[in-house]
Structure 1
């Protein structure tokens, strides 16, 4: 993949963490784990998290609390989040989750094939988006350095010959 960003799986139940890790292992991505919302926030803020697979209801800091916090910070607001719930369909939870910008809300138990498909798509799309943003930043920096030739380390723009060539006139 070329990126060292991991998928962080967050759940307060060890058996659920194991099941989710087993379901995602065939993808070959780096997987991390956290057993609380606080621990998840610490790992995400340290960087290198490319996707969050997050249980909604946990003691202390809930999954929704984690998402609310992440969406307020520029460096974490675009990390894809897939929420998991074992409490069945809940209209209020669904509307709150999607208002916060989560990528999906899945019911436990999760179908491993469907989970892998969604995670692969979301993770790869996020990595491509990050790569494009890096490229745009590099191009902007290059354009700025070329526009300011008096700046140390700046390269002068290439001068092209602007004369229009005309075909030779027939002198017969």
Structure 2
């Protein structure tokens, strides 16, 4: 069952937003959309975004600008980002994307099956990471509550390490009728 975190789809073209939503809808995740880099940043900062599918080339705030900003903030630096570009394979673009910590780069026209596979994998991996991070926090708080190793426990809080008495086993010939 998907968590309540949403997948944010960002593109400045309405038809591309619609196509991406149509491709990802069968996954069953909550989807949200933004039509600019600025709107995407605002949505991510509100919280509950588990993954971004983000167009590279947008007016004003580009996809690269969005990723640069997200990677500077502790609460958003680990959100997976799939960049989408219609400019075909470009070594400089690819190098820049992966240096920024983008999880994947997808070329238009988009293969819906491939996109769903990538989104499912990255989204689920990020959710596992967040659950593990929460478990680590909980374990650390439990460890802080433990007494130091060299401190002796009070008699009433010591663990009883004695072996419990054994109940006698009755055998058939021991029983009297």
Interval containing the TM-score (normalised by the shorter chain) = 0.7 to 0.9
What CA distance in whole angstroms lies between the structure 2 residues aligned with 1:88 and 1:98?
16
| Alignment correspondent of 1:87 | 87
Q: Secondary structure at the match of 1:127?
A: helix
Q: Secondary structure at the match of 2:52?
A: strand
| Alignment correspondent of 1:37 | 37
| Alignment correspondent of 1:51 | 51
Shift of 1:142: 1.5
Q: Secondary structure at the match of 2:146?
A: helix
| Alignment correspondent of 1:61 | 61
| 1:4 matches 2:4 | yes
Ranges in structure 1 where 5+ consecutive residues have no aligned partner: 149-157, 165-172
Q: Name the larger-Rg structure.
A: 2
Q: Secondary structure at the match of 2:82?
A: strand
Runs of at least 4 residues of structure 1 off by over 2 A?
Answer: 145-148, 158-164
| Alignment correspondent of 2:18 | 18
Please, what is the CA RMSD of the aligned residues?
Answer: 1.7
Aligned residues of 2:80 and 2:122 also touching (Cα < 8 A): yes
Deviations 1:77-135 (A, max 9, x none): 00000000001111111000000110000101110000000000000000011001011
What CA distance in whole angstroms lies between the structure 2 residues aligned with 1:128 and 1:8?
19
Instruction: Count residues with an aligned counterpart.
Output: 156
Q: Taking structure 1 as the reference length, what is the TM-score of the superposition?
A: 0.86
